[in-house]
């Protein structure tokens, strides 16, 4: 399926890191909870283990969202990308959040992909390289996404703040749609998105104003935003013509089944 601004198969509402803050971010438990709240598309952060396995983790380090420090002590590197997947897969990525999720494992990307594919859910794969690994991460994540979604009617949406990661994804799997993530409107953002043949600009919601929406839409991009957590902000964006919302508040916004 060719994804364009007109031919857009994704729902309006996307659950951030699975289910926002209601469950441990970037875990299968979060995806299940987001789905139970009616969400049919999810965003997650993907990086590489030391042996090249894509897995879900937001930060460079495991400290905030796993028991790595407790398990390994302070002398062992807390950088997720420094460890093989066999070691990472033993970590508890749920206890930090709450007792209800104790023992929830750190997921590999493949398992999350199977959950989405099996249930017909959309996935926004944020390529979140460990510092210094942009090209390698973009390449490997795109390879895996192309393989896993090879028979799917709707491809995953790849996104990144890092143009180098998106360029690598483009070179590896040009047919997979891409979105450029922005936390500022840095000089050259529009030209960069055009040169990477992106289909969407995904901005911090505060960056969308009439001028930026007009610029993006005139160049043929869909306008999406993160992280939209209250109704008045969502309404402001809707009024501007923003068409996609990544939210933590899966408990507040109830996506209609058609959205």
Q: Is 60 in the site for Mg ion (CB under 5 A)?
A: no
Burial 141-158 (b: 16+ CB within 10 A, else e): bbbbbbebbeeeebbbbb
Active site residue 83: no
Q: Is 237 in the site for ligand G3P (CB under 6 A)?
A: no
Nearer CB in complex with ligand G3P: 165/246: 246
Q: Is 159 in the site for ligand G3P (CB under 6 A)?
A: yes
DSSP codes joined into one string, 46-75: EEE-TTS-EEE-SSSBSTTTSSHHHHH-TT
Q: Is 60 in the site for ligand G3P (CB under 6 A)?
A: no
CB atoms within 10 A of CB 50: 16
Active-site option among 16, 37, 97, 205 = 16
Nearer CB in complex with ligand G3P: 90/206: 206
Active site residue 97: no
Burial (CB count <10 Å: 0-12, 13-18, 19+), residue 39: buried
Select the residue interacting with Mg ion from 126, 162, 243, 248 (CB under 5 A): 126
Name residues whose C-beta falls within 8 Å of residue 73's C-beta, 6 or more positions apart in sequence. none
Residues from 66 through 85 that contact Mg ion (CB under 5 A): none
Q: Is 167 in the site for ligand G3P (CB under 6 A)?
A: no
Q: Is 30 in the site for ligand G3P (CB under 6 A)?
A: no
Chain Cα centroid distance, residue 39: 14
Q: Report the alpha-carbon distance of residue 65 to residue 123 in Å, rounded.
A: 21
Instruction: Kindly list the residues in this chain that would bind ligand G3P in the complex (CB under 6 A).
Output: 16, 43, 45, 58, 126, 159, 181, 202, 226, 246
User: Catalytic site residues?
Assistant: 16, 58
């Amino acid at each position: 399926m060719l994804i364009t601004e007109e031919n857009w198969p994704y729902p309006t509402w996307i659950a951030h890191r699975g289910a926002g803050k209601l469950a441990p971010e970037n875990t299968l438990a979060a995806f299940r909870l987001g789905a139970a709240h009616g969400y049919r598309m999810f965003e997650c952060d993907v990086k590489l283990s030391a042996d090249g396995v894509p897995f879900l983790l937001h930060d460079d380090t495991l400290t905030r969202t796993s028991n790595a420090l407790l398990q390994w002590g302070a002398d062992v590197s807390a950088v997720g990308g420094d460890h093989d997947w066999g070691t990472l897969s033993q970590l508890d990525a749920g206890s930090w959040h709450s007792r209800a999720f104790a023992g929830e494992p750190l997921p590999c990307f493949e398992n999350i992909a199977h959950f989405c594919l099996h249930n017909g859910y959309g996935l926004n794969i944020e390529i979140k390289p460990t510092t210094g690994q942009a090209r390698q991460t973009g390449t490997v994540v795109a390879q895996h996404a192309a393989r896993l979604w090879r028979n799917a009617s709707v491809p995953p949406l790849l996104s990144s703040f890092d143009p180098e990661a998106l360029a690598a994804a483009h070179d590896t799997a040009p047919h997979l749609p891409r979105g450029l993530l922005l936390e500022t409107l840095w000089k050259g953002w529009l030209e960069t998105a055009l040169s990477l043949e992106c289909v969407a600009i995904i901005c911090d919601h505060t960056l969308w104003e009439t001028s930026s929406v007009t610029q993006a839409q005139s160049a043929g991009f869909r306008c999406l935003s993160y992280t939209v957590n209250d109704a008045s902000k969502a309404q402001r964006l809707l009024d501007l013509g923003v068409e996609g919302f990544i939210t933590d508040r899966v408990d507040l916004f109830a996506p209609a089944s058609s959205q």
